[in-house]
Amino acid sequence: MVVRRRPQRGHRYTESPVLELALQGWRSRMVGLLLMAALLALVARAFYLQVINNDFLQEKGDSRYRRDIEVSASRGKIVDRHGDMLAVSTPMKSVWAIPGDARTMTAEQKRQLAELLEMSVRDLDGKIAAEKTFVYVRRQISPETGERIAALKLPGIHQEKEYRRFYPAADMTAHIVGFTGVDDKGLEGVELALQPSLLGRPGSRTVIRDRRGNIIEDVGATRPPQDGKEIRLALDSKIQYLAYSQLKATVEQHKAKAGGAVVIDARTGEILALANWPTYNPNNRQKLSGAQLRNRAITDTYEPGSVMKPFIAALALDRGKLAVNTVINTAPGRMTIGKATISDSHPHDALTVAQVIQKSSNIGTAKIALGFTPREMWDLFDKLGFGQEPNLGFPGEVGGRLRPWKNWRPIEQATMSYGHGIAVSLIQMARAYTVFANDGELMPLSLLRVDEAPVRGVPVFSQQTVREMRLMLEMAVQPEGTAPRARVAGYRVGGKTGTAYKIEGGVYARKYISSFVGIAPVSDPRLVIAVMVDEPSVGGHYGGDVAGPAFSNIAAGALRTLGIPPDAALQVAAGVSDKGPL
């Protein structure tokens, strides 16, 4: 109850009669207590939310506007020594659907989508009829088409970004560059060998997005994406093209089974070209056979045949056992060692060491070889890198077969000197010939461009020996030699032919591997070129007739491409047709 005093007129503010109203004591205390209790409840709640439950709520809040996004990194490019593209990744779009939602599309929408995807409406219906929650409608379409599809705003149709790798040089460089599978994983060639450096590392960032999905702020740590490294190969795409097209023409002309060609820079050991036939198009790998995939020059070994002979001759010169003009009697073109008989395909009489190489006499070479112990010969082969992998880091590299010297019989020693009973890969053979192309050093090979010069190799022969050997190799391409068709107009070149029987089921069959390994120009060698043709069946089978012309054309083109000045008078070249590629 309120006790009212008699109202007064003209009172001062502080004397307001209302203020003079007095409450009953318990009521004011009651209100005070209630207010206090409410305040306490609020403080407790605030404490609960702000302190005890803070983490949970913070997380909930963040999840409403904070996003972790991945920043994709692209796979490194592969380029040739001059920067021409050999492999490059470019983003593509993949269209996927949630079938349940996609089935709500109208007939008109389906027609539009099918048209943009270049597929029939029936195929599209088939895809979205699946009882799944996710189905790819079409993978790897161009980004432009992707945008047009996104503009249609179709229900249940979504897109994701994917990278696709393109190989502009296609089948030309297929074996050396290789290819990648899904998920940017290298499966062959350089793509596999250098996978760790080519692979990019995606970055990540945490951002705040607004209602419209725009990124408005970076929060927390960002990790920038690391694109894969650009790989600069030693390959010269022009020389590669020469090697590839010449090899292809040769294999087709002689109806051969397969072939390989390698061009090496004699000064640096860089692989300027490496071609194989048959090959494949890495951009379209639907019908691939093992034969097409094989990188023969590196993964296949063969018995090289006479290409091996110059090494034994060089060893003899180097040790001072023989001189260039020491005469060796090769008559009557047959020789029996133990139970086996070896022979020359064209019998000769007395030949000098130089002529043994020029005319490729098996008997002469065997006689030179028998002047050494097995150990000495094995050491030579070992120093030349036979029996060891060439250490290119290339997938499937092989070391070939070089049996331990302890159980060599004399006949084996003789046959090995002319390249039978020993197996090598084409790249090993090309590498071994680098000893003749510089001052007698075996150069380490490199797939990648070498910028720091000069490269030093492992010394095998003396300078003097090598100089004499070059002249011998040059004699082999003279009219009296085994490979007159390997000559190059305007340049002095040298090399050695090889015509080896193939082994089938442990015995030598009447099938051949014709090869030619040469250096150019002889006066100051810059290139080592090796050509191998497997089972030529038409137009001869001798190395000089099959692989020689291919060597000549590749050398002519490569020397001109590299701008190497001619070192021979033109009349020497008269009569040699110049049908080299442009």
Residues carrying an active site annotation? 306
Q: Please report how close the Cβ of residue 35 comes to other proteins at its closest, in angstroms.
A: 26
Among 17, 143, 332, 371, binds other proteins (CB under 8 A): 143
Residue 482 Cβ vs other proteins, minimum distance, rounded to whole Å: 23
CA angle 279, 282, 285 (to 5 degrees): 95
Residue 150 touching other proteins (CB under 8 A): no
Which string of x and - marks every residue 467-506 that binds other proteins (by CB under 8 A)? ----------------------xx----------------
Q: Which is nearer to other proteins, 217 or 252 (CB)?
A: 217
By CB under 8 A, tell whether 565 contacts other proteins. Answer: yes
Both tokens of 508, joined, read 């030598």
Residue 582 interacts with other proteins (CB under 8 A): yes or no:
yes
Distance in angstroms (rounded) separating the CA atoms of residues 560 and 554: 10
- If one asks whether residue 578 binds other proteins (CB under 8 A), the answer comes out as yes
Question: Phi and psi for 530 in degrees, rounded to 5?
Answer: -125, 130
Under DSSP, the state recorded for 226 is B
Q: Does 288 bind other proteins (CB under 8 A)?
A: no
The footprint of other proteins on this chain (CB under 8 A) covers a number of residues equal to 35
DSSP code, position 166: E
Residue 147 φ/ψ, nearest 5 degrees: -65, -40
Nearer to other proteins, 103 or 164 (CB): 164
* Residue (79 or 402) nearer to other proteins, CB: 79
581 near other proteins (CB under 8 A): yes
Question: Structure tokens of 301?
Answer: 């070994």
User: Could you tell me the smallest distance in angstroms from the CB atom of residue 58 to other proteins?
Assistant: 20
With tokens 């880091």, the residue in question is 393
CA 301 – CA 265 distance, rounded (Å): 22
Figure out which of the listed residues 195, 237, 301, 497 binds other proteins, where binding follows CB under 8 A: 237
Q: Is 278 in the site for other proteins (CB under 8 A)?
A: no
* Residue numbers 194-233 binding other proteins by CB under 8 A: 214-218
Distance in Å, CB of 19 to other proteins, minimum: 24
352 near other proteins, judged by CB under 8 A: no
Q: Which is nearer to other proteins, 248 or 348 (CB)?
A: 248
Phi, psi of 22 (to 5 degrees): -115, 130
Q: Express the helix, strand and coil content of the chain in percent, nearest 5 each.
A: 40, 25, 40
Cβ count within 10 A of residue 164: 17
Nearest approach in angstroms of CB 292 to other proteins is: 18
Residue 51, CA distances (Å) to 39, 334, 416 in order: 17, 102, 86
* Number of neighbours of residue 566 by Cβ within 10 angstroms: 16
573 binds other proteins (CB under 8 A): yes
Phi, psi (rounded to 5 degrees) for 101: -75, -35
Q: What interhelical angle do 463-476 and 309-318 show, nearest 10?
A: 140
Establish whether the linkage from the previous residue to 282 is cis, with ω within 30° of 0.
no
Contact stretch for other proteins (CB under 8 A) within 112-120, 268-276, 420-428, 565-573: 565-573
Footprint on residues 164-193 left by other proteins (CB under 8 A): 166, 168-170, 172
Measured from the CB atom, the residue of 343 and 577 that comes closer to other proteins is 577
Contact 530, 426 (CB under 8 A): yes
For other proteins, the closer of residues 283 and 462 by Cβ is 283
The binding track of 71-110 with respect to other proteins, each residue x by CB under 8 A or -, is: ---x---------xx--xxxx-------------------
Exposure string over 225-257, b if 16+ CB within 10 A, otherwise e = eebbeebbbbbbbbbbbbbbbbbbebbeebebb
Site for other proteins in 38-77 (CB under 8 A): 74
Counts for the chain of helices (H) and strands (E), in that order: 22, 21
Residues 241-270 that bind other proteins (CB under 8 A): 241, 245
Binding site for other proteins (CB under 8 A): 74, 84-85, 88-91, 143, 166, 168-170, 172, 214-218, 237-238, 241, 245, 489-490, 562-566, 570, 573, 578, 580-582
